Amino acid sequence: MYGDTGTIRVEIKNTGSTGVAIGGARLFSGGVAVLNDKTYDAVGTIAPGSTMQFTFTMKANVADGIYYQEFYLDMRDGGSFRYYVPVRVSDSQIWVSILDAPETFPAESADTVVLSIGNPRDNTVNGVTITPTGSGFTSIPKAVFLGNLPADMVRSASFNITASQATDLTFVISYRNGINQHNETLTLPVVIGRRTVEPEMVINNIEIARNGPSVNLTGDVTNAGLKDAYSVQVTVGSPAQAIAPYPVYVVGRLEPDDFSSFEITCRAEGASSVPLLVQYKDATGKTYEETVTVSLTETQLPSQGNTGIQSGSTSSRNGPGGEGVSGPFDGGSARFPILEIALVIVGGIAVAIAWRKGYFAKIRKRPPG
């Protein structure tokens, strides 16, 4: 690679039957700089059947291409030997990309980031290590060691990232090309926010009824996200005070697009609105809380003929005839017609007794006038 240092090792062998005196050995630059071209100015004699090695250090300070370095061997008794060594310079870098990563990172929630590392070079690179660096996050693992990466090979590395703030997540990919250390970096912006695929609670159909100092709230909670919500519960916050019989309504698990009705009882003297709190967890156990403010300004006290008191800013629950459905089983405070029912029952009993005692027969037998 450009700027790398490399070596050329040349081995010669005396295949003759007598020794050969070597005056010197040189490697002439064919474009790539030779750093120790005068190391072998004096060599000596190579015996029959023996070998001798010459190692030259070079630095690739030229553009990409193939360069021919000339190895020159000077015979002391006359003559010389030349051999050309091709040296290829290629500045192709390790290729790194994000294979999988979320668009947003929920704060303090673990998310997976997967990197793809490829080697487009003609030679194997060694000691490939990926390390995430930066602040405002934690990573498991701290680093991934891939080792050797052969030519035209691709490998992946996975990290579980838990971010606490918006930051830049920089991956440092270090490797060796020969004896040379190289580093590549890839930066992933970390954006903190909620994702639409996560559970998302929506409150609607809220109805409000007063019963003396207490307020009764009923409605529906719907999971509008794309993942299950767990341990869903509904209650009220300050200045309201949750009281019996329904201080907290536990829904439990809500699948996507599923809903559940709830009922909450509270006190809210002097308050014009009540914060309705929806608490739930995602699949990792992380707790979320959403708040819906419910206005009490249009809530009325129950009276004759008013059988379903609701907030004017929310939709109502209607029965088959289009009238508000309320009573002791739906949390409403409308008057149940106990007196009228009792009078009907008493009247029916009186008629039955009169019939059995024959009063109606006597009336029929009484003479006219």
Q: Cα–Cα distance between 351 and 354 in angstroms, integer?
A: 5
| Range scoring the smallest mean pLDDT among 265-269, 291-295, 318-322, 346-350 | 318-322
Burial level of 156, CB count in 10 A (0-12/13-18/19+)? middle
Residue range(s) defining the domain that contains residue 354: 337-369
Sheet (strand 5-13) strand order: 5-13, 51-59, 33-34
What is the C-alpha separation between 280 and 263, in angstroms, rounded?
Answer: 17
Terminal-to-terminal C-alpha distance of the chain: 133
CATH number for 324: 2.60.40.10
Identify whether residues 74 and 107 lie together within a single domain.
Answer: no
Record the tokens describing residue 128, joined without a space.
């490939």
Tracing tokens 């310079």 back to the chain, one arrives at: 89
13 & 102 share domain: no
Distance (Å, whole) CA 195 – CA 162? 15
Q: Among 159, 190, 221, give the residue marking a domain's end.
A: 190
Q: Are 49 and 172 in a shared domain?
A: no
Residue type for position 36 = N
Please report, as a single letter, which amino acid is at residue 363.
I
Per-residue pLDDT, averaged over 147-173, amounts to 95
Q: Same domain for 179 and 216?
A: no
- pLDDT tens for 306-317 read 333 333 333 333
Q: Are residues 50 and 118 in the same domain?
A: no
Q: Tell whether 113 and 201 lie within a shared domain.
A: no
* Boundary (domain end) residue, out of 190, 217, 242: 190
Kindly report, residue by residue over 48-98, the tens digit of the pLDDT.
999 999 999 999 999 999 999 999 999 888 889 999 999 999 999 999 999
Q: Which two tokens stand for residue 105?
A: 């990172």
Looking at the structure, tell me whether residues 330 and 208 fall in a common domain: yes
Is the omega angle on the peptide bond into residue 256 within 30 degrees of 0, that is, cis?
Answer: no
Q: Whole-prediction pTM value? A: 0.56
Shared domain for 332 and 343, answered yes or no, is no
Question: Are residues 262 and 247 in contact, defined by beta-carbon separation less than 8 angstroms?
Answer: no
Three-class secondary structure of residue 363 per DSSP: helix
Asked whether residue 170 falls in the same domain as residue 205, the answer is no
Give the tokens for residue 310.
Answer: 């609701």
- The rounded distance, in Å, linking the Cα atoms of 365 and 368 is 9
- Total domains in the chain come to 4
Residue 105 gets which letter from DSSP? B
For range 158-167, the mean pLDDT = 94
Q: 273-281 and 229-236 as β-strands: parallel, antiparallel, unpaired?
A: antiparallel
Residues 220 and 277 in one domain: yes
- At residue 352, what are phi and psi to the nearest 5 degrees? -65, -40
pLDDT of residue 219: 94
Q: How much is the CA Rg of the chain, to the nearest whole Å?
A: 44
Closest CA to 258 of 286, 228, 281: 228
Q: Are 218 and 261 in contact (CB under 8 A)?
A: yes
φ/ψ of 237, rounded to 5, equals -115, 175
For 332-354, the pLDDT digits (tens) are: 334 445 556 666 666 667 656 66
Place of tokens 């914060």: 275
Asked whether residue 110 falls in the same domain as residue 23, the answer is: no
Buried-state track 171-197, b at ≥16 Cβ within 10 A, e below 16: bebbbebeeeebeeebebebebeebee
- Looking at per-residue pLDDT, the higher value among 327 and 189 belongs to 189
Residue after which a domain boundary falls, among 190, 223, 240: 190
253 and 179 belong to one structural domain: no
